[in-house]
Homo-oligomer: A and B are copies of this chain.
Amino acid sequence: MTNFQWPVRVYYEDTDAGGVVYYANYLRFFERARTEWMRASGFEQDQLRQQHQLVFAVRSIEVDYLFPARFNQLLLVDTHITQFRGASILFSQQISSTEPDTIQVLCRAHVRIVCINAQSFTPCPIPDFLKSELQKNV
């Protein structure tokens, strides 16, 4: 099962007064990685929306926070698909620190994405042209 990796640098904007990355901001990192995974598969989400009225919405997420990420760290987001259904995709993602001497998993997530119509916001089956290409990366 293919694994897609995307680097994320921690800037001040991502941290809070506790000195670590604010818990909601890991969800931003996870989404950047999913967006780049889709781009690497050949799909731009703005074009999917304009040409096919397709948008991807998060239906549910589970996150385990193991260790905090800190200002200035370079993180690595691992993304792979664990399930592919009619209108939804289940991702398994994790964020690791990449210090020279140690690699440590900081945060793990399971994310269910639903393909929806951009106007009606109702779920729609993932079209075949998209499915066949994305499944090559599963």
Contact = CB atoms under 8 A, between A and B. Distances in A.
A4 interface: no
A125 to B, nearest CB: 19
A12 to B, nearest CB: 5
How many copies of the shown chain assemble into the complex?
4
24 contacts: A9-B32, A11-B31, A12-B17, A12-B31, A12-B35, A13-B16, A13-B28, A17-B20, A17-B70, A17-B71, A18-B55, A18-B57, A23-B27, A23-B61, A24-B24, A24-B25, A24-B28, A27-B27, A44-B72, A45-B72, A46-B72, A57-B68, A61-B65, A62-B63
Interface of A: 9, 11-13, 15-20, 22-25, 27-28, 31-32, 35, 44-46, 55, 57-65, 68, 70-72, 118, 121
